């Protein structure tokens, strides 16, 4: 059957007008939903760039809360505890910034310089770099007991305090997805588990029901009841708990993608990082490692030699 030639000129003026009015609506309805870029919850740091000890600038108390969140600062056992919520740039804050700068190979001046602000503003994992005041991220500074009485010197990777890990009876772990998890996220997470399985003694499989799974994965917004609220877009991307807790949460407010997509975060890359926490690894100071706290937008990462060395050292 032959198709008749179609021309806009063959339409009556009224039909042509209706078509021209409808075209933008049809185009909008069939185009992918765009994610409006909202400001980062770490945006306040820009205003504080250049501040240093002795300054009193509005917003420094937010910097203190930022550093407290990630384990660098605590006024609870300090004689200066009255400064926890004020805008005074005191000696304790300077010391916390120096520690942060050392951990991320920045100039340890204690001043909030432009490179430090740039690093702090990057989207990251919500797990603290320092837990209970113990900083394991610095190489050669501290040792770590491996559970057999000997002292293991950490190179770049790090463990949680007291090195929690899964017992030998639980080297096969099951995982499940909580209600509300996007279907598109399930395969990238499964692929991340298989990547870890290929480089460790662990095996993983999806549980029949999430209630009985060793690891529970879900997407949440804001305060979701675990004591570590999410903060909207471009801040904390996800978090997971040390063994044998098994909770792994994505921030549902972020722009997520399957694979590398500009302006979005790769589900599998973030899963690789958070599964590292589930197995007992804390953050690494190696930028190429999957356990580096900061996670790139529009990029993908895999396991690094440092990650493999870390998990092997933990499960000697």
Q: 10 Å Cβ neighbour count for 304?
A: 19
Bridge partners, 142 (sequence order): none
Beta bridge partners of 174: 205
* Rounded CA separation 166/284 (Å): 20
Indicate if 274 belongs to the active site. Answer: yes
- Which of 275, 253, 276, 296 shows the shortest CA–CA distance to 119? 296
Which parts of the chain are beta strand (E)?
A: 124-125, 143-145, 151-153, 172-177, 203-206, 215-220, 236-240, 247-251, 256-257, 265-266
What is the rounded CA–CA span in Å between residue 120 and residue 235? 10
The Cα-based distances of 175 to 108, 198, 212, 291 in angstroms read 41, 17, 9, 20
DSSP state of 249: E
Q: How far apart are the first and last CA of the chain?
A: 74
Specify the pairing of strand 172-177 against strand 215-220: parallel
Catalytic residue among 234, 254, 274, 285: 274
Q: Which residues of 224-240 are buried (b: 16+ CB within 10 A; e: fewer)?
A: eeeebebbebbbbbbbb
How far is residue 97's CA from residue 101's CA, in Å, rounded to a whole number? 6
Please check whether residue 70 is in contact with residue 129, taking contact to mean a CB–CB distance below 8 angstroms: yes
**DSSP code per residue over 111-163:** S--HHHHHHHTS-EESS-SSBTTB---STTT-EEE-SSS-EEE--S--B-TT-
Active-site residues, by number, are 274
């Amino acid at each position: 059957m032959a198709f008749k030639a179609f021309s806009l000129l063959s339409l009556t003026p009224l039909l042509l007008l209706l078509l021209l009015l409808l075209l933008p609506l049809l185009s909008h309805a069939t185009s992918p939903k765009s994610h409006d870029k909202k400001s980062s919850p770490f945006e306040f740091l820009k205003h504080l760039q250049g501040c240093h000890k002795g300054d009193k600038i509005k917003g420094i108390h937010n910097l203190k809360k930022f550093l407290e969140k990630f384990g660098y600062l605590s006024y609870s056992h300090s004689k200066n505890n009255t400064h926890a919520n004020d805008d005074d740039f005191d000696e304790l804050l300077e010391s916390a910034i120096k520690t942060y700068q050392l951990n991320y190979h920045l100039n340890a001046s204690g001043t909030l310089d432009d490179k430090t602000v740039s690093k702090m503003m990057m989207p990251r994992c919500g797990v603290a770099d320092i837990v209970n005041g113990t900083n394991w991220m610095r190489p050669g500074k501290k040792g770590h007991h491996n559970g057999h009485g000997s002292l293991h010197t950490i190179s770049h990777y790090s463990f949680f305090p007291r090195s929690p890990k899964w017992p030998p009876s639980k080297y096969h772990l099951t995982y499940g997805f909580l209600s509300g998890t996007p279907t598109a996220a399930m395969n990238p997470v499964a692929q991340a588990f298989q990547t870890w399985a290929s480089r460790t003694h662990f095996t993983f499989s999806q549980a029949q029901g999430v209630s009985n799974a060793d690891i529970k994965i879900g997407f949440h917004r804001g305060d979701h009841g675990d004591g570590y609220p999410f903060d909207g877009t471009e801040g904390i991307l996800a978090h997971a708990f040390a063994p044998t807790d098994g909770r792994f949460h994505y921030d549902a407010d972020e722009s997520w993608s399957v694979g590398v997509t500009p302006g979005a975060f790769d589900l599998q890359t973030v899963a690789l990082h958070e599964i590292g926490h589930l197995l007992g690894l804390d953050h690494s100071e190696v930028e190429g490692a999957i356990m580096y706290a900061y996670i790139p937008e529009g990029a993908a990462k895999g396991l690094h030699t440092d990650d493999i060395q870390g998990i092997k050292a933990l499960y000697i």
